[in-house]
Structure 1
Amino acid sequence: MKYNRANILSKVGTWEYNVMTGILDWDHVVKYIYELNDDFEPTIELAIGFFKTTAIKERVSELTRNLIQTGDPFVEQFEIRTAKGNTKWVEASGYADFNNEQCVLAYGTLKDISYERDLDSTLQLTEEKFSKVFESAAIGMALVSPMGYFIKVNKELPRILGYTEEELIKLTFQNITHPDDLSKDLSYFKQVLNKEIESYRMEKRYIHKLGHIVWAELSVSIIWSSQFTPLYFISQITDITEQKKASEELQREQQRLYQTIEGANIGTWEWNIKDNTVIYNNRWAEIVGYTLDELQPISKSTWSSLVHPDDKHIPDKNIEKCFSREIEFYECEYRMRHKNGSWVWINDRGKIVEWSAKGQPLLMLGTHADITQTKSKEQELRNTLDLVSEQNKRLLNFTHITSHNLRSHIGNFQMLLNLLPDEPDETKKRELIDFLITIANNLQETVHYLNEVLQIQTNLNLQIKKINLYNEVEKVLTNLKGLISESLAIVYNLVPPNLEISYSAEYIESVLINLITNAIKYQHPDRIPVIHISVRENLKYIILEIADNGMGIDLTKHGQKLFGMYKTFHQNKDARGLGLFITKNQVEALGGKIEVESTVDIGSTFKVCILHPHNLASASG
């Protein structure tokens, strides 16, 4: 029996049965289908044994008998079990040749149709699944003919469009599409028919049966026949009317907001959180000294790169609270770096205005307002209040000092005056009068110093001007050259040559003289004085430091009264206890402060904290 490559490729084998000899012959393909070796010799009994069930075997036996006895041909499909135990589906056919009304030869084909059967099952299952999805879908679905007629619709589509299923079947999609959207829809529709595109998606408007507009998201694909002709379109229609209304209302709200903002000279920002893209208006950039072109490419990092490092946590924390819905909107204040290097105070407000269906933030809007002047005025007010409070404390202290000192002198006067009339001895009278003169001189000196302190407390006749601090130190060192040379002191002026302060020339000279002369006056007996005069800065102060290697001060013992009037801490005959008291009052009168670090036998460092020029105006009046 001959077979060819076509038989093998088509999985169609042939068989012959010689009725006269009882010999059954299978070609190579039949043996291949049964998963047999080529040397296998079949018989009728063995052949029937490959069929899977008893019922099938009986049916094959019946067909074979009828074929041989009557010549009735057959073509039927059966399930077999191969020599290797695999299950297959085959299509068997049988025909007969007769001679003198007696069958002499039976023959036929055997075709492996397992793939086709599996495909049919899969297609049937797919159709069943599609039918279930089609009917139970939460969105509208329809099968649409190439002419646009609704062939079949699910239960949701009539609900969306207001028509019954029977009414929709009589309509085309063109009948219920908004005229302004029809041409675009038809264009896509034709492109799919012409195989230019496989599918399309668009937003469109349908006309509801009651006449109002239904916004929908339409997704369309096509099903082709085996002859590659269009069978029908599958249309998926999602009602987005409410989303559209919300979006339009949001746009109107944004427009009103932008108009209000433009009139208020406020910067705006719009952050698409999903894409992490940001839109700023011109005013937003102007607040920090830029144009929008200068800030390109614009992103969220454009903002974050300008926020003061110490303030970055402030907006970040507020945004996190909005994301977690802990707060509905936020308002906070922080600093941003201006193009000129200064820091601009910003009032930042933000609100998430759009969320996804899963509760994820999508869009956030906000404003920036420049509040630098307001913050400056607030700082001025705080400085003024602090100054008034400090002056009140100093004046109260001054009152106590004045009262104590004057009572002391007056008490001595009163006592001596009471003794004078009753003293008979002229020599002792003379001594009493000398004591009275000394007390009078001391009283005059006390009144002088108290008046000087009072002038400091009340800032009388105080003139503030720009002073080169390096030059001022040099001038004082020149004036003290004799004292410095006599003590063999070494003084280093480490102040930057170009540093300027806004200060009273009289006060800074007095402060420098007091602190430098103290450093020399209280030098350590075992070494020559070495004095370093330097400057460091922070956001609020220029800090003038005068460090020496002198005797040092026991701050545990004397720290609380270090700057008190008439307080001395070393056995120096020239010590009056006024220098540090006056220095402290002079420094504090201009909104500053004075601090000290000291170790006995090591030395002292006095730190004069001078307000930066932009802070001084509010502190001095």
Structure 2
Amino acid sequence: MKAVERIEQHYLLRQLPQATALVGLDGSLVDASDSWLTLFSLPPKNFMEADIFRVMENVSDLKENLSNHKTFSFRHHLGEENDCRWLESTFTPWYDEKENIVGSIVQTRDISREVEKELEIERINAILKTKSEVAQVGCWEYDVQTEKLYWCDETRKIHQVPLSYQPNVNEAIEFYKPGYSRNKISMIFHKAIHESTPFNERLILVTHKGEERWVQSAGKAIEKNGKVVKIFGTFQDIHEQVMTETKVMENQQLLTALIDNLPLNVFVKDLDSKKILVNKSECEYLEKSPKELIGKTDFDLYDEEVAKISREEDLEVIKTLKPILGKETISIKKNGQTTNFLTSKIPLFDLEGKVSGLIGISMDISAIKKKEDQLRNLINLTSIQNKKLINFAHIVSHNLRSHSANFSMLLQFLKSEDNEKEREHIENMLTQASDNLLETLENLNQVVDINTNINLKKEQLNIHDTIVKVQHSLAAFLDKNQVQIHNEVDKKLVVKSVPAYLDSIILNLLTNAVKYRDPNRKPVITLTTKKLDRKVILSVSDNGLGIDLERYGDKIFGMYKTFHNNRDAKGFGLYLVRNQVEAMGGRITVNSEVDKGTTFNVYFNEESK
């Protein structure tokens, strides 16, 4: 009967689904299930020749644990480290019918998959921990029901508290700087719990050591059955990042303030010559806001020819990587306004050293160019004045010497003459000589006044009305000589001129035309005007004798120069006219053909002050 029971017990043990073995007190294998034998790769027939210590040879302290006759478990593995099977064995005391311990019941299960998962989880946690430490990003979790708050180690490090520190919600909120940061975190945490609203805010934290640091606090609600059960979030130390951003912003603000207050036009263009940055001066010059200029090319802002030249310069700088420095350029805006600039263009490189555009700097030199032109004109005028002065000195010297010699000779005649009638005749000649000297001095004085008066007051004068006025003053003279005057001047046209000079210029040109009329035809004088490059040109044409310009062209405006046998000619009128015109910043020219007539063109400079 016992044999039958033993056999039944043996077969029952072999068929157990869980790997099970019976081990004697000495460690010998008494019996085992087929699954246990398979697990340890033991033959079903000869397994009792082995003992548990050889089967589990890599388990330390096994004998000691067995001798304690208590239940214990451990993990162990079979095979090499790279190709092994993980097992978990539990040893439980084996009792006989008298409650005496006769050995141990061993139950073993394959936990390889569990160990693999645990190792994977451990690996992932290690990676997450490393990333958290490197990125200084911690995590936290709040259980709404238990009101317990969990911080990871990195979160504790950011707060500068011991790793054993266990916070609560109120303590966590107290870490935020009083004022905006504390009020903000309180409000958004409340909304996350009650409204499931996620948050992600930059706030200031006061650490356990009293340091103020910028942190990025984010959180998201976890719901179950439509109710918030947990809040999970991240916590990142961004203090260095914020400090760097603040420093960059301060530097950008400083650079912007510096660039905007430079008395220079500064702009940055991309590779397509589109503006990507402009300063205040550039905006003021183009009369547009930065928003209106960004993305625009020179073709959108300037005359097409100017834009083409600018684009060619841009391409040259970008292609050759050589700057253009201090180049004089002319900008013509769409409205026709012209400005002279001293322009520099410098290649702009990105962080990789590749050209990404160019920086342009332009200085408005229009005023300087105008001053240069004025200085050049002044030098030319000074040169002309010097020549005129020398010429004038020669004239004065010659004329006064002639009058002086005439007086000396007449006085000598008078002294040696006894005849009363001859003496009377000589006295009359002296009187005439005196009058001629006075007239010469008066003429010379007029010229001196014109060339030394620097405070000429110019007014807006109507040319047509001035001609009519002069015409009235010469009415008798003109009627006597049967002169036809055609005043074709625009009745509304005005010029800047000295009133007395304009009267004198017109009077001298009219009387000059009459003096040198052709005796074979009635004199006809035509006056016209036209505007050219901010100048008004008054033309006075006649059908008189004309002048041989090849012979007398360079002398026509000289003092006391006459070219016809006219007893009324003194050669002073045209000299006076030229001096008056030039004193007002203008000029006079002449076109003439013998026996056909003469045209004098007077240029009034509208820009002269």
For Structure 1 versus Structure 2, the TM-score category normalised by the shorter chain is 0.5 to 0.7
CA gap 1:464/1:322 in 2 versus in 1, 3 angstroms: same
Say which of 347, 350, 373 aligns to 1:352. Answer: 347
Q: CA deviation at 1:433?
A: 2.0
Say which of 260, 285, 288 aligns to 1:287. Answer: 285
Q: Residue 555 of structure 1 aligns with which residue?
A: 549
Say which of 374, 389, 395 aligns to 1:395. Answer: 389
Contact 1:523 1:529 in 2 (8 A): yes
Q: CA deviation at 1:545?
A: 2.0
Distance in 2 of aligned mates of 1:177 and 1:508: 93
Q: CA deviation at 1:509?
A: 0.9
Contact 2:283 2:290 in 1 (8 A): yes
Distance in 2 of aligned mates of 1:363 and 1:466: 52
Structure 1 counterpart SS, 2:415: coil
Q: CA deviation at 1:553?
A: 1.1
Q: CA deviation digits over 1:554-587, x for unaligned, max 9?
A: 1000001101111111222211111001111111
TM-score (ref. length: structure 1) = 0.52
Q: Residue 471 of structure 1 aligns with which residue?
A: 465
Structure 2 counterpart SS, 1:561: coil
Q: CA deviation at 1:274?
A: 3.4
TM-score (ref. length: structure 2) = 0.53
Q: Residue 542 of structure 1 aligns with which residue?
A: 536
Say which of 322, 329, 337 aligns to 2:324. Answer: 329
Task: Say how many residue pairs are matched.
Answer: 374
The answer on 1:503 being equivalent to 2:494 is no
The answer on 1:415 being equivalent to 2:409 is yes
Contact 1:288 1:344 in 2 (8 A): no
- Correspondence 1:227-376 to 2 at 5 A: 258-274=256-272, 276=274, 279-291=277-289, 298-305=296-303, 319=314, 322=317, 325=320, 328-336=323-331, 343-354=338-349, 362-376=356-370
Contact 2:277 2:294 in 1 (8 A): no
Contact 1:273 1:363 in 2 (8 A): yes
- Name the larger-Rg structure: 2
Give, as a single letter, the amino acid of the residue that structure 2 aligns with 1:468: N
Q: CA deviation digits over 1:396-415, x for unaligned, max 9?
A: 22111111100000011112
CA gap 1:371/1:480 in 2 versus in 1, 3 angstroms: same
Structure 1 unaligned regions, length at least 5: 1-170, 182-249
Structure 1 counterpart SS, 2:566: coil
Contact 2:530 2:538 in 1 (8 A): yes
Structure 1 counterpart SS, 2:261: helix
Q: CA deviation digits over 1:271-321, x for unaligned, max 9?
A: 21236455444431322444557779832213332x8x7x77875775565
Distance in 2 of aligned mates of 1:318 and 1:411: 72
The answer on 1:583 being equivalent to 2:581 is no
Q: CA deviation at 1:356?
A: 12
Q: CA deviation at 1:608?
A: 1.3
Q: Residue 65 of structure 1 aligns with which residue?
A: none
Structure 2 counterpart SS, 1:264: coil
Give, as a single letter, the amino acid of the residue that structure 1 aligns with 2:459: K
Q: Residue 155 of structure 1 aligns with which residue?
A: none
Give, as a single letter, the amino acid of the residue that structure 2 aligns with 1:465: E
Contact 1:278 1:299 in 2 (8 A): no
Q: CA deviation at 1:542?
A: 2.7
What is the root-mean-square deviation in Å for CA atoms of aligned residues? 4.0
CA gap 1:424/1:588 in 2 versus in 1, 3 angstroms: same
Contact 1:534 1:544 in 2 (8 A): yes
Contact 1:532 1:546 in 2 (8 A): yes
Sequence identity, in percent?
Answer: 33
Contact 2:273 2:314 in 1 (8 A): no
Distance in 1 of aligned mates of 2:495 and 2:512: 23
Q: CA deviation at 1:457?
A: 1.2
CA gap 1:611/1:419 in 2 versus in 1, 3 angstroms: same
Give, as a single letter, the amino acid of the residue that structure 2 aligns with 1:541: K
Q: Residue 510 of structure 2 aligns with which residue?
A: 516
Distance in 2 of aligned mates of 1:318 and 1:456: 50
Structure 1 counterpart SS, 2:513: helix
Distance in 2 of aligned mates of 1:385 and 1:610: 20
Contact 2:540 2:601 in 1 (8 A): yes
Q: CA deviation at 1:176?
A: 13
Distance in 2 of aligned mates of 1:178 and 1:597: 93
CA gap 1:458/1:357 in 2 versus in 1, 3 angstroms: same
Say which of 560, 568, 574 aligns to 2:568. Answer: 574
Give, as a single letter, the amino acid of the residue that structure 1 aligns with 2:344: R
Distance in 2 of aligned mates of 1:500 and 1:563: 26
CA gap 1:438/1:364 in 2 versus in 1, 3 angstroms: same
Distance in 1 of aligned mates of 2:548 and 2:351: 68
CA gap 1:295/1:490 in 2 versus in 1, 3 angstroms: farther
Distance in 1 of aligned mates of 2:347 and 2:298: 15
Give, as a single letter, the amino acid of the residue that structure 2 aligns with 1:392: N
Q: CA deviation digits over 1:48-73, x for unaligned, max 9?
A: xxxxxxxxxxxxxxxxxxxxxxxxxx
Give, as a single letter, the amino acid of the residue that structure 1 aligns with 2:343: D
Q: Residue 11 of structure 1 aligns with which residue?
A: none
Distance in 2 of aligned mates of 1:561 and 1:571: 16
Distance in 1 of aligned mates of 2:466 and 2:134: 85
CA gap 1:423/1:504 in 2 versus in 1, 3 angstroms: same
Structure 2 unaligned regions, length at least 5: 1-126, 138-247
